[in-house]
Structure 1
Amino acid sequence: MLTAMRRLASTWFAKALFLLLVLSFAIWGIEDVVRNFGNGNAVATVNGDPIELPEAQLASRREIARIQRQLGSNFQVTPQIAEGVSRQAVENLVMERVQRQEANRLGVAAPDAAVRDYVWSIPAFQGADGRFSRPLMEGFLRGNGMTEGEFLVLLRSDLQRQQLAGAIRAGAAGPDALTRPLLAWQQERRLADLVVLPLAEAPEPAAPDDAQLRRFHENNPDRFSSPEYRRVTVLTLSPAIVAAEVQPSEDDLRAAYEARRAQFEVPEKRALEQAVMQSQDAANKVAAEWRAGAAFPAIEALAQQQGGQAVSLGTVGRDELPVPELATAAFALPPDGVSDPVQTAFGWHVLKVTGIQPAQSRSFDQVRAELAVDVTREKAADLAYERANEVEDALAGGATLEEVGQRFGLPVAKLVVDARGQTQDGTPAQLNLDGGGRDVALRAIFTAETGQAPRLAEAGQVGLFAFDLQDVMPAALRPFDQVRDQVLAAWTADARRRSQEERAAALLGAVRGGKSLPDAAREAGLAPRRVGPFPRQADAQGDGRNSPPPELLAPLFDTAEGQATMAEIGGGFAVGQVAGIIRPDTAADPLGLGRVRTEVEQAMLSDLEAQYLEALRRGASVSVNPTLMGQVSAR
């Protein structure tokens, strides 16, 4: 047999077949290259300037990370959200290119000195002393996955954009024809007569019969239906679940102690007072007085007489003193000791030690329990990560959630649950997840379709979960006999509401028929009251007694003087009649005019900048590679 195969392999037919097979595999293996030949690696080009795929993917990841920081750990990035964020990230890169090219065309530049000053002025990069801190900047760069060079390029582009925008914004002014009417509109006050009809004061309706209640039950199915329930099996995995498997060894604890020794050692601190003088002679006088027993107030007065000053530095450690010479002098003194004058760039310093807090160190035995908790938590997090990989492999291999839970000792819950996380008997479902993680799991369960293969997903920062949706039980109208009491209560509430609405409508009709609201109210046995003058905005600071309900504010300001309006408010209805309009004298309020003018100008400037950028975008030649665009959101 082998001899026959060798003989066949040596024929021209076999060689041709082998060559065809090699070519086929070659083409299949480089399909992407062949298909995209000539397209390059650019997701988009802006006037010939390419935006490469890695740059677009990095921008997308940064944007998603920013959104997650803003919205918290409960925010779940779905494929649709990732695609939308990626498209916006690419559009942001396009606009950045457009503005940079326009700045280059106009010769707008950002000198290195301007970029440096810009970096130093960023508040997030300033330490406790108000000065630029490189470690803070490096931490920011690490957290955002950026190099210093990339960050400086972004800042330079931003400075160029600011110069372009500044040129567009310059010169815009809010005209009086707009600011005066706007100020008058804002400061207008109104008086109104008001009648409130609370639902609690509605007359008791006549008792309904069963036929009325059954009709009400059938006509309002959403109020008397059970919610949608879903039958689901949920598996959870978290560091807290696997922590019982972690037993840190003595070596682990001692290694952690050595790695964190600085946390358990408190260096010596000293309470210091300091006088800073401009000459050595003046400093010697202060030191002599201090050693002679002068109190600090006397030293303060003497220092001022000699052209210097004295201050208390509080309790500080050696590394908290900014000048090494001062730290050396301060920590060499005995209690209540006074130093010889020490010269620095700030002048001549005299220090006095008023108290000493000795260095403290907690031994390994003292912090053993604390270390055990921390090490267990860290190792549990590592174990949970390893276990997650094993669980994913098992699920991919076709194992059920029950089999995976039994194999790896993970909790598996079989539940019938609604979207609020309640079981059919009204008790909270046991999902083995807390807080935001529970909410993430419920949202995933109620957006899934039956038949989907279970897979691990993140439940915020608290753990992972996978679920198998077996059945969806739609919302259904509960039998009347089961909910008769609820139907009666709802029918009664509706009757009360309808009664008060009719009374309010009758008052409104009486006013429109020529009566005043107070007269119509008194005829109906109701008590009106006068409110105001009140502004357009609800009085957040007041008790509300001198203004109408918030729901009635806008309708009253849309109503002519002498006319009435009504609105449904919390717990009832309200009817109001405009009794007077107080219009302001805008000429007598220059500060108000200035404030409104500033608001108008800012709005105009923002509109001008937006229109300018839109014009730049329309004038640019932008092309997008749809194939590569789909890869931007790949995670």
Structure 2
Amino acid sequence: MITFFRKFFQSKIGIGVTLAFLGLIALAFASSDVANTGMFGSVTGGDRVAVVGDRRIATSDLQTAANNALQQERAENPTLTMEAFVEQGGLDQVLDQLISRYSVAEFGRSLGLRASDRLVDSEITSIPAFQGLDGNFSAETFRAVLRQRNLNENVVREDFATGLYARQLVMPLGYGAQLPESFNRRYAQLINDTRRGSAAAIPAGAFAPQGAPSQQQLQEYYEANRASYIRPERRVLRYVTFDIDAVGNLPPITQQQIARRYERDSSVYAASEQRSFTQLVVPTQAAAQAVIDEVEGGVSLEASARSKGLSTIALTDLERDALTSEASAAVAQAGFSGAEGAVVGPARGELGWYVLRVDDVTQISGRTLAQASDSIREELLAEQRTLALNELTERLEDELADGRSLSEAADELGLEIQTTRPLTADGAIYGTPERAAQELQQVVGFAFEMAEGDPELAEIVPGQQFMLFEVSDVTPSAAAPLAEIREQVTLAWRRDRGMAAAAAAAARIVERVREGSSLAEAVAAEDVDLPAPEPLELNRRQLAESGQLSRASLLFFSMAEDSVKRVRLDQANVWYVMKLDEISSAELAENDPVLTGTQRQLGQAASEEYLAQFLAAAERSFDVETNAAAVDAVRASLTGAGQ
């Protein structure tokens, strides 16, 4: 329910506290591919973007945090580029979060908190990126990863320590947070609120200008809203796919090869015997013998087992070796010595003492070399082709690394290179609802990390199908030129002008209602034809359960009785004027389960509020200076501006 109240409000903690709990570098190692050596940008780390008290925030810190934030956003929006992220204010938000993080850490230091070397070691050893093949921390892997990232161990340790300072301060603040019982009951009662009133829609279309904007108006609007027209990065791929057929004709399998394989696997082709059993296992030899005596006296093995609270199991089509492996050599000896229908045992096995009934005996004839030759030939041929395909892919991979072109490799394979239409990072064909071919979906993400013109080899179907591919053309993410989207921008300009005029009309209507007019009269007083107000009756619980929340419905449940307000709904291109006439709510019993749930959610909300207030107070306790020139340098480095 508290989520319902706070639906359109974001806590100040969020990523900021995540960055405080973890080191910036720890977060990078935890959330990104350690092979991505470009994560940390190219501005020298000695430049400062801000100073918090006596602590400098380096440009490399800001770049690292921005890259981390972008990777997190890409989990929801795979086509988001750094250019779009920065254009939409992402870098500024990350800088604010960094300042909060360092403020908390400096506040902790001022209180005498410390992060010992052993505690930092514990944090480092918990990072999966630093673990070896055995799953344990590897100092060699740790140092190799640092070299790969061009990081100094002292810098990494200091970063982890900063996160630990912040964690020691922030984490205890929210423990056990509770609000008074009166708050709890009041909020719980709000769940069953029913509100009655009316709503008037003020559509932008009723006020939108009909004529075209001037070139200056359109250009100014475009410049002010460039972030809305950013196109994602597009890449064109050239590729070929190949499979086992690429190895061509191979030397024929010889009779000598067949004979050697027949000799090696002679046990496979020899005559054999398979048996099926009903098995019972008991703890002692005496108990097993008692079961055998009962069976010999006319009781079935299953009935004897049931009388002792036990059950039998069926073993089907086993050879002697299989039974030996499953039970023991003694059990197998007993099982394969008895005639069909006999009960054998007791014999000692892995789980205890075994009693077996021989249910079926099947004799399997052996196969001569002549009889097995065809199947052996197919087996050897499949192995030969698989080996040849593996050797081919290994050779191609080495040659591509040494500079061989995709065209040369395709010519050798006798394949025609395919070229895609421009693709986005999520595998879509740009500008269409279509998606790239299925085999390309597996490589398109990696293709957006590749350099242009550097071919790579990928395995599409393990051991069966492979792809050679390269990026042949890259169109960077950027705002679309105005000339190409003039009609789209013109429509948006009209919409925004209409929304601005609708906002003014909504304000006039609100004022008339406050002066004593009815909502219907206030709407009718406008110079344009507007829809008549509609009656509104909403129950908070039903609305929350339906999931059909909007800014208008949220406003309706935050208003005081007998009040009028306006709200903007951008997606619908409309303003609403909401008039609330009556609020009714049911009383709750003392033991109503809603009270418990609300108390828990209020405690969580209070915890978040305490954290947010603490972060703000810690930040205010230090002088904070921002170096705009250094921030702009990071911005240019991340977006490639000026390159």
Query: Shorter-chain TM-score: what band?
Result: 0.3 to 0.5
Q: With structure 1 as the length reference, what TM-score do the two structures score?
A: 0.47
Q: With structure 2 as the length reference, what TM-score do the two structures score?
A: 0.47
